[in-house]
Every structure is written in C-alpha cells, then in structure tokens.
Structure 1
Amino acid sequence: MAVVGLSWVLATVLGALPFIFAGVDRSPSIRLDEENNAPLVYDFDSFFGSHWIELEPLDPVQFEVISRLVDSPLGARGRSIPDLIKESRYPNAGEVLGKLATSNSLWEEVLIFEDPLKEEKDWVCLKWVRMTIADALFESQSGFSTTGATVISDLENPRLVPHCILFWRSSTHFLGGLGIIVLFVVVLGQGSAGKALMRAEMPGPTKDGAMARMQQSAWLFAGIYCALNFVLAVILMCLGLTTFDAFCHAFGTMATGGFSTYNGSVGSFQSAAIDYTIILFMILAGTNFTLLYLCLLRQPGKLLADVEWRTYMGIILVVTGLVMCFGIANNDFPAETFAEKVSDSFRYGLFQVVAIVTTTGYGTHDFDAWNHCARGMLFALMFVGGCAGSTGGG
C-alpha cells in the first residue's frame, strides 16, 4: 500500500504540470462583497503575504458597473461599453470605469480597455489570475480522486483554458476511475472473504493462485470500464456532441467525477436525450463492477438479487419521486401544462438525484433554487454514494 500511496502522490504532481506550464487562468482579479461594497483586488506584484488587497468601498454606481463586468456572460472576454450601459442603466458606465482605472494602480492593472479577441471597439475586460502551484495540485488531485471540485471559473474561453488542458483535466478522471477499479480488486483479494468471492464469481481453474486471479479480475474490470467509456462517448457523438465534448463527458460520467467542458455542466446542452443517456451510465458507474461482469456472462439475475444494488436503485427511485412531488407543489419546474411539469420534474429530478448519489456532481438545473425539502434530500444523498466496487463507491 505504501507503493500505491507514493504512486498517487507522484501522479498528482505530474498531473499538475500541464496546468502550470500552460499558464491557465482560474478566476477574475476582483472579488466583491455586497455587505460593505469593499472590493478585493488581486495584487499581481505581491510575492509575500496575501495577494488580495481590500480597497476603499465603492459607491453604488461603481459597485453596479463593476458587478456587471465581473458577472459578464462572456466571462473573461468582458463586455462592450454599450452593453454595460444598457445592463447597469448608467449612461456614464464607461467614465466610471475610466476614473477607477486612474484612481489606483491596482485598478489600472486589472481593468483592460480592449477586446481580447480584437473584434470590438469600446470594450472593457478584467485581468484574470493565473493558477498557482497549489491551484494546479488541487485540480490534479481533484481529477485523479474523481472529486470534481475545481478552481477554474471560466471553462469556455480557450484563451484562458485551452482545449488540450480541458482534455487532460478530464483524462485525470478517466485514470482515477481506472485506478479505483483496480485498487478495489487488489484490496478485495487480500481477505479470505474476497478470495472466496473471486473463486465463486471469476472464471478460471481453481488451482490458479491468488495473484493470478487478482490480475485476471483487474484486467476484466478495467476492460469493462474502458468499454463503457467508449460506448458512452460514441452515443454522445451520435446525439450531436463533438468528439472532444463526448469523450470529456464520458470520462467524467464513468469515473463519477463530474468535470465538464462548459460552465453550465451538462445543462449547457439543453438535450433530454443527452440527459437520460448520462443518467443511465451514471447508474452503471455506481454499480458494482462484479455485477456488471456477471450481466455480461448472461447472469442478470444476480444483479437483481443483490441486496445492495436493489437498495441503491430503491433510494434513487424513492428520492426522485419525492423530489418530483415537492418540486411540482412548490413550482420548481414552471411550465405551461401539468404534463410538461411532470416531464421536467422527472428529467431534472432524476438527473440530479443520480448525479449526487453516485457522487458525479453533474448538473442540468439550478437545484439551489428548489424547495427546502428537495435540497435537504439531495444533501442527505451526498452521504450515500454508489455501490461497493464501483467508481462511485470504491
């Protein structure tokens, strides 16, 4: 196990190198506090102490204009001055930003009055903060451990995060999920109960040694895992995704990690077919891979007879039903007809329940705006996880 731990540390360090060498930008250089209107601005020249410097509170007009810029739907590209004037309803928005830029050297550094793509005039954007070594290590470990937490704010701007980095980021999920499956076989094979299970459920002569049987099991499970990744990617491509998006989301789904290539996660696709496809494969990823192998041997009865799997599916169905009922009652899924409400509540409710119980973390709907009961049940699901021997349960 010491070798496994050392390998994990080495993988984390090596996995962080692409983020560092590519110079990935992670977040805007301004943070706003609505309580006192005092902004935190990143000091790019600071080498010691905190990089975030608290400046004097902004007046209401300045705060509104800066808020619109920080929350720009175009992310790091910023906004045109006419759009800022329209959204903030202040005709002097451009002058406000100009005065801020001349009032302080920090403001002057973080406010850039040009379009990064050189396509538009009268433009303003924010300078973004690059990933530090700690950020890169965090992103790497989050990927390999299939946690899915991230420090990157804007995934859709290739100037900030190149597609090759996004693909590597998703690949850490694939490798991490593969490692979990193989580690499960190794740990399972250590005890007498695990060896008995392997003798009962893995093919091969009984005279084979424990090591040979574990190697055989590891190859089988790894093959199933890789095949499911490939099948899901092909299906997603058939549903309209690019090869890049299809494989990145397949890696995030089967590893139950949740890294996406879009800020809006899977919800960015606005496709029911894609949602239900990913739901199916998240359920498979949360299922014991031994049971999936037995299904390939035409023994689906063992899957249906497994108490853990039936409990797993029962939790998904019951909680989805409750989320639907509370959601419809509290109008969490507004629609023109009752049938559309039921359809939307089932689609979004089932997706979110499966994504959370399997620890995948993908999203298609803003469940933070749902009623308290639904959010409470989703919170409770975070303590459940997938079945033993799955990428969601380990």
Structure 2
Amino acid sequence: MWIKICGLSTQAAVETAVKAGATHIGFVFADSKRKVTPEYAKYLGKFVPKTVKKVGLFVNEDLTLVQDIVAKVGLDMVQLHGQESADYAAQVGVPVIKAFGIKDGKLPDNISEFKNQVILLDAPPAQFAGGSGTSFDWKALDLSALDGYQFFVAGGLTPENVGEAIRYFPTAYGVDISSGVETNGVKDLEKINHFIEKASVAHSEDLLAECLAIIRKLNDYHIVPYLMGSLAVTLVAGFPTNPDDIDLQLRQADFQNFDLLTEVMASMGYQLIDLHEHKFSKGKILVGFANVETLKKYADVDYSELALGKNQADSSALFYLPNIAQQIKIYKAATQDSWRAGKPKDQLILNQLKEQK
C-alpha cells in the first residue's frame, strides 16, 4: 500500500518516515506553513532512496515553474491541489496526483478527465489546500464511483483512524497524511512511526485475507503453496512490513502446470499481467508465483524443511512458511541480489529479523 507523509521539512522527519516504511515523501511548494524552497527540498531529497517517491505539492502554479522545480529537486511525482486542467497535468513531465475536495459525498464532475492519473480524495480546501486536518464524509460517498481509479484517501487521517479508513476504502491504493502526524504544528516523529505502523498492519490484514482465499482455492486442487515475501515475515515474526504483493511459491510440478494456475486465478477475478514473472493482478492486488525448488540455490534454504504455517483466523488454509532463521537466510540473499539491492526495505526487514532471533 502507498503510505504518503506530506509536508516534511526536516531531515529528521524525512529519515523517520523513510525508515518506518513510507512509500511517498511530500514536499510543499505552495503557500503553507509547511512550504520549503526547491533548494532545501533538493537537500532533503538526499535522504530519500530511489525506491521512495519524492512528491512536490503545488496549487495553481505556473507550469514552467513546476517543470523547473521538478527538474531541480528531482521530483518523481507532482501533486496538484488547485484547479489545474487535465491538459496541464499531462504537461508536467512526471506522474501526477490530482487532489479533489469531496463535499456532500459527491465526486467533482471533472474527475473523469484524470482517470489516467492518480487521484487524491481530500476534505474541501480551507485557507490552504491540503493539510487542514479535517475529513470528508466517507459514508456519503458512493464507493462504486471510484471503480477504475487509483486513489489516495486523505483528509483528517490520524494513527488512530487510518486502519478504519483502509478497511472502509478497500480499493484505495494509498493513504496520505500531514497534520495528523503533527504536534503543535510540527511533525512528530513518534506519530509518523505510529501512523505508518497502523497503516501497514491494516493493509497486511486485508492482504492476508485475500492470500488465504487464494491458498484455499489452490488447496482445492491439492496444491499446498509456500508463502514468501514480507507478508510471510509479518505472519512469522509479528512486525508490520506493508507488503507490496502476495508472494507464493510452488513445487516445480505445480508451477509448470500454468494453465491450471491461470484458470484458478481467473476464477478469483485475476488477470495475467506478466507471463515471464508469473504475475497476476486484481485491482491494486498483485500476486506472483515462483518455483520453490530454486530456493536452495538462491538462499541455501531447503524447501522440504519448511513447516506448515499457522493462522488463527483460518486454520483451513494449508501452506508452508519459513521460520525466522530461514527468513534471515532468504532476506540476506535478497540484500545481496543485484536486482533487489536497491530496496532498503529488504535490509530493514533483515535487521528486524535478526533482532528477533
């Protein structure tokens, strides 16, 4: 799940958000008490790894100036909080997050013009766009109107209610917060950590429920998969990891029966999106399959030594799960893998696993 912390203006806040697992870091360039200069944002950007998106927030700014700041700071995305048109958004030069204030449970008439962009649902703007700390009426909004949109939920989120928001908006791709992680108008490092943890836990719970449904379906065909990745870490070690996807591995005979696998996933509403990587998608959910028999060569872990996993919520789903010692081997290999070496999340998970050993 995308977890965006916006309005950051100190090195400590940026480093805290990155270490805690934020996927997007927001810098405000519009009139606001959180406004930063392009020069300072560029400096703060040095503490943001490439795997975390740097987002610049603008309100009805001159397009050329936005483009200049994008280039100067090295922004990965731009968030537009004014009355910018779809044509304006298309000329920014990087992916756009278009914010819309939701009033009386109604989506703005022009939201469909931005269907190819990421949408941010926020409270109606007060003096400054975004960061007001107020929320819109979730229950007044017709959730079906959001079908087909990639969107953030924002407005009045806090560490205490972000889990509720994630459950209420099951198709949301992300959550965005600014004032909800502040104390007396200043970013609170403890609140940043707490918010990201709560968002990650809620997302993990939702993803695990979907994962178990897939596993039960595979069990119907006498296939017992091996659960891997950060979702498996959360299950075995108990700390939140904000999983990117569902990572299942199969024995070679099952893995090679790809027609059956495709049929099973299609029956659950998934589409094949990458034949080479054996990846399927359904909305925001990604599921990848791999051959577990390569695990020995990759991480010196023998798949035959993995034990059956346990889940208190659903004991009917049969799957194998690496223990902490095996997870350490797997994540140590991941941090040395040239393809994954740029992902600081793997190193963070490895460090936490070592602390629990």
TM-score (normalizing by structure 1)? 0.26
More strand by share: 2
What TM-score do the two structures reach when normalised by structure 2?
0.28
Query: Which structure has the bigger radius of gyration?
Result: 1
Question: Higher relative CO (CA 8 A, sep ≥ 6), structure 1 or 2?
Answer: 1
More helix by share: 1
